[in-house]
Amino acid sequence: MEFFRIKRDIPFMRHALVFNAISIVTFLAAVFFLATRGLHLSIEFTGGTVIEVNYAQAADLPKVRTALDKLGFGDVQVQNFGTPRDVLIRLPLQADIKQAEVVARVFGALCSAEGGAVSTQQFVSDKGEAISKAACNAAAGETVHLQRSEFVGPQVGSELARDGAYALAATIAGIMIYLAFRFEWKFSVAAIVANMHDVVIILGFFAFFQWEFSLSVLAAVLAVLGYSVNESVVIFDRIREAFRRYRKLTPHEVIDHAITSTMSRTVITHGSTQMMVLSMLIFGGATLHYFALALTVGILFGIYSSVFVAAAIAMWLGVKREDLVSASTKDIDRNDPNAGAAV
């Protein structure tokens, strides 16, 4: 399916050097921000406390944040999840305070903000065990209810960070092996450099703006890797087809033709995907905000890197027809005394 057709090939590779220079500057800037500012890691990686509370009415998030800021627990994150009455609270690791005390202080502050007082209620479980639970008593009833609390220790956070790095490395290695078998090493190197370019750029954005880097963002980065390599594979396939079909074209002209012939497909695929991601960014709330943000940056730079990084690097590495198309008997001049000779 074609949305439009470009009759004349666009000379992308004529400007490859300029765009490669821009890519290098952008890449180095991202590395600089990663080294100087670092990533704002979520509590999944650093450790901390997660608290879920339920309000009788729709929660007033600014009011909740104001109440929690008075506790002095640092960078506290508050967001809705599920319904407007459900609130998820993330607190950084408090080295000198036990988790039970942290939860008690937070629930007490939320209860006081609603004009209530915390009391302890006794319950008997189905197994006959006595259970005590904090409750917020106000004139209007139980205005806020403690759903659950969970503590993520620093050891668990470091294990998640390590496992995430392993997952990223395994994905990159798998992509390189796949491309090396599907095409040949020049395209494999070009695609991996382009993919790493996309990953570092995304991380650079998160480091510069200090956006929260969570497990969902890591999932988005892995998704961008697959999405970007898919675009590179499509272009590389067209390059191989063009080498077979147009034997008189130079490698530069073949690459330009391959990219131009995929422009309609690129607009349809990336446009529809970006519309879906934008809907998550706008309507997904705080839960999907940074996930969609990472995908947006990755999709935009993925298009750029597939054309001006992956294809350009393959050109700089000297890709030629003989690398992708084996010579047939029609290509051999039987009157040539050197026919069949190998150098």
Per-residue pLDDT band at 155 (split at 50, 70, 90): low
Per-residue pLDDT, 293 = 93
Residues 173, 125 within the same domain: no
pLDDT of the residue at 88: 87
CA distances 265 to 229, 244, 272, 312, Å, are 15, 21, 11, 20
Q: Does the residue 18 lie in any domain?
A: yes
- The answer to the question of residue 232 being in a domain is yes
Which has the minimum average pLDDT: 55-59, 178-182, 322-326? 322-326
Residue 30 lies in a domain: yes
Domain-terminating residue out of 119, 152, 185: 152
If we measure between CA atoms, which residue out of 211, 175, 180 comes closest to residue 41?
A: 211
Instruction: Please count the structural domains in the chain.
Output: 2
- Domain assignment of residue 332, yes or no: no
User: What is the domain-level CATH number for residue 189?
Assistant: 1.20.1640.10
Asked if pLDDT for residue 341 goes beyond 80, the answer is: no
pLDDT of residue 334: 45
Residues 215 and 301 occupy one common structural domain = yes
pTM: 0.76
Which among 120, 152, 184 is the end of a domain? 152
**Do 262 and 228 belong together in one domain?**
yes
Domain enclosing residue 27, as ranges: 12-41+155-324
Q: Supply the mean pLDDT for the chain.
A: 83
Strand partners, 148: 52
Q: Is 90 in the same domain as 20?
A: no
Is the residue at 35 inside a domain?
A: yes
pLDDT of residue 339: 43
330 in a domain, yes or no? Answer: no
78 alpha carbon, distance to own chain's centre: 22
Contact 224, 200 (CB under 8 A): no
Residue 335 within a domain: no
What average pLDDT does the segment 314-328 reach? 76
Among 45-49, 51-55, 153-157, which stretch is predicted with the lowest mean pLDDT?
153-157
Same domain, residue pair 174 and 300? yes
Which of 152, 177, 208 finishes a domain?
152
CATH, residue 116? 3.30.70.3400
pLDDT of residue 228: 82
Confidence of residue 157 (pLDDT cuts 50, 70, 90): low
Same domain flag for 26 and 93: no
User: Distances from the Cα of 278 to the Cαs of 116, 291, 293, 299, 303, in angstroms?
Assistant: 40, 11, 9, 11, 17
Within this chain, do residues 106 and 232 fall inside the same structural domain, yes or no?
A: no
* 2: in domain: no
Of 175-179, 212-216, 324-328, the one with minimum mean pLDDT is 324-328
- Give the integer Cα–Cα distance in Å for 198 and 246: 32
Do 36 and 107 fall into the same domain?
no
- Tell me: do 115 and 169 sit in the same domain: no
Task: Give CA–CA dist 159/110, Å, rounded.
Answer: 32
Q: Specify which residues 146 forms β-bridges with.
A: 53
Q: DSSP characters for 274-340?
A: HHHHHHHHHHSHHHHHHHHHHHHHHHHHHHHHIIIIIHHHHHHTT--HHHHSPPPGGG--TT-TTTT
Which pLDDT belongs to residue 122? Answer: 73
Closest CA to 197 of 315, 41, 39, 308: 308
Whether residue 336 has pLDDT greater than 80: no
Mean pLDDT of 113-119: 87
Residues 123 and 174 occupy one common structural domain: no
Cα–Cα distance for residue pair 200/30, rounded to 1 Å? 6
The single-letter code of the amino acid at 200 is V
Q: Are residues 203 and 318 in the same domain?
A: yes
Is there a single domain that holds both residue 233 and residue 250?
yes
The per-residue pLDDT for 338 is 43
